[in-house]
Amino acid sequence: AQKITQTQPGMFVQEKEAVTLDCTYDTSDPSYGLFWYKQPSSGEMIFLIYQGSYDQQNATEGRYSLNFQKARKSANLVISASQLGDSAMYFCAMREDRDDKIIFGKGTRLHILP
């Protein structure tokens, strides 16, 4: 069965430091995609980054990178040079390529301290 696990309910990080948000997943399908979404306090769900299961390189989007370790079923999000505006809830998510639905983790609430 599909499952996403985010073990860090909350994190506090000093501004300008790098931060890693953990995510592990479980699926029996060899073809899938992994996503990270950001949800600020205003509530919207913002797409950040995507990693396909067959992608050889880790995905990067600006200050966001996805540390994809397929054998460990791990898809950690790394935010470099954190900013105050990065304070939000972050969701790791997965979609098996044959499905429409995205499965979300419980989220990690990130607080960036000035």
Decide: 40 and 46 in contact? Cβ < 8 Å. yes
- In angstroms, the CA 72 to CA 77 distance is 15
State which residue, 53 or 65, has the beta carbon closest to another protein. Answer: 53
Max Cα–Cα distance, the chain, nearest Å = 43
- In angstroms, the CA 88 to CA 33 distance is 23
State which residue, 42 or 114, has the beta carbon closest to another protein. Answer: 42
State which residue, 13 or 93, has the beta carbon closest to another protein. Answer: 93
Reference 75, options 59, 97, 61, 98; nearest CA is: 59
Which residues contribute to the site for another protein (CB under 8 A)? 31, 33, 35, 37, 42-47, 50, 52-54, 91, 93, 95, 97-107
Q: How far is the CB of 15 from another protein (least distance, A)?
A: 26
Q: How far is the CB of 12 from another protein (least distance, A)?
A: 20
Q: How far is the CB of 43 from another protein (least distance, A)?
A: 5
